[in-house]
Each structure stands twice: as structure tokens, then as C-alpha cells.
Amino acid sequence: MYFTDRGIEELERRRGDEEVTLAWVADRLQQFVDVHPEFETAVERFATWLAREDDPDDD
């Protein structure tokens, strides 16, 4: 188990029944980077990965 799994599991446990939009997720990611700019690269990579997940040209 990776250390990050605990955070992912907490997210699922606390908010797993909620429905959210991708606009909401994008807004929350932007707020996170505003507070924690040192994670800008990781958040950018994650957002790009989510955006292109089903694009076969980006493998």
C-alpha cells in the first residue's frame, strides 16, 4: 500500500456517495495549488492525465 492510498481511502469514505462535477474538481485543484504551490507540477500532471485518460494518441 502506498502512503497516498490512505488519503484516497479517506476521500472515498468521506465523499464516496457524493456526485460532483469536473468543474468542481478543477476548482478544488486550483484552490489546493493556491494554498500549496509546491504541488503545482503534480496537480498539473494529474489533471492532464485525467483529461487525456481515454485518448489513445497520448499513450
| pLDDT one-digit tens code per residue, 12-39 | 999 999 999 999 999 999 999 999 999 9
Predicted local confidence at residue 3, as pLDDT: 66
CA–CA separation, 41 and 54 (whole Å):
21
Predicted local confidence at residue 26, as pLDDT: 95
Which whole number is the average pLDDT over 32-57?
A: 92
Predicted local confidence at residue 5, as pLDDT: 84
Query: What's the predicted TM-score (pTM) here?
Result: 0.75
Integer angstrom CA distances of residue 21 from 9, 11, 18, 27, 28: 20, 16, 10, 10, 11
Mean pLDDT of the chain: 89
Predicted local confidence at residue 53, as pLDDT: 85
